[in-house]
């Protein structure tokens, strides 16, 4: 079965600084990868997804992620963080032809310093 690891439990960055959140997946075939964001007290919102094609994926709120098959990674990036980006971020992996089985990482909590 597929699995996801988010190595960083908590990251703190200053407002305006760049951000990279790490995600490593384990799956033998081509994974289907997602990043979700959860603002305090809210459900999860999809930021972006990768199915195939261009390995650099653009999402909402100025986020992007890059799929690197050789490193089994799908890291999330943002060039300049805003205070409103403070939230918890979840990476998830699904598999082809399976609409039911999505595995989520443990999440990375982002704190933004003024």
Residues that bind another protein (CB under 8 A): 9, 32, 34, 36, 41-46, 49, 90, 94-102, 104-107
Nearer to another protein by Cβ, of 44 and 81: the residue is 44
Cβ atoms within 10 Å, residue 96: 11
Nearest distance in Å: CB 61, another protein: 16
What residues form DSSP beta bridges with 46? 36
Nearest distance in Å: CB 17, another protein: 25
Cβ atoms within 10 Å, residue 40: 7
Nearer to another protein by Cβ, of 1 and 14: the residue is 1
Nearest distance in Å: CB 107, another protein: 5
Residue 13 exposed, middle or buried by CB count within 10 Å (0-12, 13-18, 19+): middle
Nearer to another protein by Cβ, of 39 and 80: the residue is 39
CA separation for the pair 9, 6 (Å, rounded): 7
Nearest distance in Å: CB 73, another protein: 17
Answer whether 86's CB lies under 8 Å from 34's CB: no
Nearer to another protein by Cβ, of 18 and 111: the residue is 111
């Amino acid at each position: 079965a597929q699995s996801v690891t988010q190595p960083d439990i908590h990251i703190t960055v200053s407002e305006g600084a760049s951000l990279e959140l790490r995600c490593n997946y384990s799956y033998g075939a081509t994974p289907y990868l997602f990043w979700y964001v959860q603002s305090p007290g809210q459900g999860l919102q999809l930021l972006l997804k990768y199915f195939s094609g261009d390995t650099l994926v653009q999402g909402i709120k100025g986020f992007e992620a890059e799929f690197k098959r050789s490193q089994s990674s799908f890291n999330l990036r943002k060039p300049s963080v805003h205070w409103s980006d403070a939230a918890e971020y979840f990476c998830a992996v699904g598999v082809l032809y399976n609409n039911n089985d999505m595995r989520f990482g443990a999440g990375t909590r982002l704190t933004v310093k003024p």
